[in-house]
């Protein structure tokens, strides 16, 4: 019986312990369930279909045709005169057309369609990295707010202890009513701040739950060490980050695509050479077969300026893509430089907040003892407590801000994990 009781107690303890939700698990579930991620995956299939459609231009085009005329007028000469007769008529046949040469117009369009598929894959990768960055920020915000709740709860307990102590000293005639009133006010303020921290945690948890597509347990455990990320600037130079940036890769593919489309538009001025063949079974008073095998050359002489406009439009599109890439490089260089500077600044802030927290705790311990002996005022005690609270929250904020900057750099490099 004792053994069974121990087993039941063990299961009870395990059930009370929250399941650990890892950051990577949150990212994986979001990427799997988010509707926009599914939409980008469908766009890849759509691009592949477009490539298949463009490639079909170089394959034989076979058409079956049929025609039936209930009444048709036929004209034929008889003794030097033309006579007419109305009769039915029909024909059925097969036509085949095979492109021989069009100055690479079609092959260039096929290559451009292939690049569309590559662009769609890169767009999906960029969105996944962006989505992962968003999940990281929500997860890390949950960690920060959970730590902040613990700090706020400890601060509330301290204020409540001060208030209880002040009431006891008031009954002994050692303190005034102002002491108890001021500590009671501090208790109410601490409760309000604790409620705000819990609300912020609940909001972050709810947002992450929506991204993941499932409910997060109430007593879930989180990875607290996600806020202790380090950044190696020697392995993450501006140039290296630019080389890994997915958006710039998309611009590169777009530039290549527009260059191919420009060449294809220029080739359309020269026309095409096609092989044609057909077989028709014809009934027009007489029943006979008609055969055709030949080569057709089509050269556009005048199209109302359409071909020239298409060529110019393709050339402008190429220049626009190049300028957009150059503009994006400038923006990325500025953003990356600022992020690296922020990370170094946060390192200094973290070191300063740690020192401030250590000093504030020592000061608080001294003033707590002096207050009991009547050697310090409630104002000094509350100020010391506030300094400890501000240092603890400031340290959490610095860790969080630094982590967000590192996450942003990870996104700019296309990192998902």
What does the pLDDT look like over 326-353, one tens digit per residue? Answer: 999 999 999 999 999 999 999 999 999 9
pTM above 0.85, yes or no: no
11: pLDDT confidence band, cut at 50, 70 and 90? very low
Q: Please tell me the least confidently modeled range out of 76-85, 179-188, 271-280.
A: 76-85
Q: Which helix (H) or strand (E) holds 98?
A: strand 81-101
pLDDT, position 13: 43
Report the CATH fold assignment for 18-59+101-271+303-412: Outer membrane efflux proteins (OEP) (1.20.1600)
14: pLDDT confidence band, cut at 50, 70 and 90? very low
Average pLDDT over residues 150-160: 87
Q: Tokens 């220029």 — which residue?
A: 266
How many of the other CB atoms lie within 10 Å of CB of 79? Answer: 5
pLDDT, position 385: 79
- The better pLDDT of the pair 233, 7 is held by 233
CA distances from 415 to 32, 37, 244, 407 (A): 16, 16, 9, 9
Beta sheet of 286-298, edge-to-edge order: 61-78, 81-101, 272-284, 286-298
What does the pLDDT look like over 242-256, one tens digit per residue? Answer: 999 999 999 999 999
User: What are the residue ranges spanned by the domains of the chain?
Assistant: 18-59+101-271+303-412
Mean pLDDT computed over every residue of the chain: 85
Average pLDDT over residues 177-181: 77
Closest to 69 (Cα-Cα) out of 36, 99, 95, 91 = 91
Q: Tokens 């050269």 — which residue?
A: 299
Per-residue burial over 258-267, b = 16 or more CB atoms within 10 Å of its CB, e = otherwise: bbbbbbbbbb
pLDDT, position 382: 72
How many of the other CB atoms lie within 10 Å of CB of 251? Answer: 21
Contact 364, 385 (CB under 8 A): yes
CA distances from 56 to 106, 142, 268, 333 (A): 10, 53, 18, 43
If you write DSSP's letter for every residue of 320-362 in order, what string do you get? Answer: HHHHHHHHHHHHHHHHHHHHHHHHHHHHHHHHHHHHHHHHHHH
- The C-alpha atoms of residue 187 and residue 184 are separated, in whole angstroms, by 5
Q: Please tell me the least confidently modeled range out of 121-135, 151-165, 190-204, 363-377.
A: 363-377
- The C-alpha atoms of residue 141 and residue 149 are separated, in whole angstroms, by 12
What does the pLDDT look like over 74-120, one tens digit per residue? Answer: 787 777 777 788 888 899 999 999 988 888 888 888 888 888 889 99
pLDDT, position 205: 92
If you write DSSP's letter for every residue of 51-68 in order, what string do you get? Answer: HHHHHGGGS-EEEEEEEE
Contact 292, 281 (CB under 8 A): no
Q: Tokens 């980050």 — which residue?
A: 241
User: Both tokens of residue 395?
Assistant: 């340290």
- The C-alpha atoms of residue 143 and residue 396 are separated, in whole angstroms, by 10
- The C-alpha atoms of residue 176 and residue 16 are separated, in whole angstroms, by 45
- The better pLDDT of the pair 372, 220 is held by 220
The DSSP 8-state label assigned to residue 224 in this structure reads G
- The C-alpha atoms of residue 340 and residue 229 are separated, in whole angstroms, by 14
Rounded to the nearest angstrom, the gap between the alpha carbon of residue 316 and the centroid of all alpha carbons in its chain is 29
Q: Which helix (H) or strand (E) holds 12?
A: helix 2-16
Contact 283, 91 (CB under 8 A): yes
What does the pLDDT look like over 23-63, one tens digit per residue? Answer: 899 998 988 888 888 888 888 888 888 888 888 888 899 99
What does the pLDDT look like over 277-296, one tens digit per residue? Answer: 999 998 887 888 889 899 98
Q: Please tell me the least confidently modeled range out of 5-14, 278-287, 296-305.
A: 5-14
The answer on pLDDT for 235 being more than 80 is no
Residues 6+ apart with CB under 8 A from 120: 40, 43, 44, 46, 47
Contact 350, 395 (CB under 8 A): yes
Rounded to the nearest angstrom, the gap between the alpha carbon of residue 223 and the centroid of all alpha carbons in its chain is 23
- The better pLDDT of the pair 371, 247 is held by 247
């Amino acid at each position: 019986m004792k053994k069974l009781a121990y087993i039941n107690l063990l299961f009870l303890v395990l059930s009370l312990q929250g399941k650990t939700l890892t950051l990577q698990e949150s990212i994986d579930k979001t990427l799997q369930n988010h509707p926009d991620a599914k939409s980008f995956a469908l766009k890849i299939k759509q691009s592949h279909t477009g490539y298949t459609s463009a490639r079909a231009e170089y394959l034989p085009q076979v058409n079956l045709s049929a025609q039936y005329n209930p009444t048709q007028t036929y004209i034929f000469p008889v003794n030097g005169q033309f006579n007419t007769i109305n009769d039915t008529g029909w024909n059925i046949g097969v036509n085949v057309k095979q492109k021989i040469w069009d100055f690479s117009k079609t092959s260039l369009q096929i290559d451009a369609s292939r690049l569309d598929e590559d662009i769609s894959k890169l767009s999906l990768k960029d969105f996944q990295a962006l989505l992962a960055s968003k999940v990281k920020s929500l997860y890390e915000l949950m960690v920060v707010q959970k730590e902040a709740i613990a700090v706020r709860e400890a601060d509330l307990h301290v204020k409540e202890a001060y208030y209880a102590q002040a009431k006891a000293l008031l009954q002994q005639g050692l303190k005034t009513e102002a002491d108890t009133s001021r500590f009671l006010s501090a208790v109410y303020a601490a409760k309000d701040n604790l409620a705000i921290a819990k609300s912020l945690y609940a909001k972050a948890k709810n947002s992450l739950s929506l991204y993941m597509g499932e409910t997060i347990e109430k007593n879930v455990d989180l990875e607290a060490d996600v806020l202790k990320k380090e950044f190696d600037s020697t392995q993450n130079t501006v140039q290296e980050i630019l080389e890994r940036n997915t958006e710039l890769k998309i611009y590169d593919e777009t530039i290549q695509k527009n260059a191919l489309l420009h060449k294809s538009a220029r080739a359309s001025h020269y026309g095409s050479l096609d092989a044609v063949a057909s077989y028709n079974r014809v009934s027009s008073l007489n029943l006979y077969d008609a055969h055709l095998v030949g080569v057709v050359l089509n050269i556009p002489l005048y199209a109302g300026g359409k071909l020239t406009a298409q060529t110019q439009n393709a050339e402008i599109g190429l220049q626009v893509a190049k300028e957009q890439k150059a503009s994006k490089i400038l923006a990325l260089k500025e953003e990356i430089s600022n992020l690296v500077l922020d990370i170094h600044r946060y390192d200094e802030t973290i070191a300063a907040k740690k020192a401030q927290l250590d000093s504030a705790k020592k000061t608080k311990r001294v003033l707590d003892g002096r207050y009991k002996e009547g050697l310090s005022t409630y104002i000094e005690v509350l100020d010391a407590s506030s300094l400890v609270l501000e240092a603890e929250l400031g340290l959490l904020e610095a860790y969080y801000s630094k982590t967000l900057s590192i996450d942003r750099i990870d996104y700019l490099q296309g990192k998902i994990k």
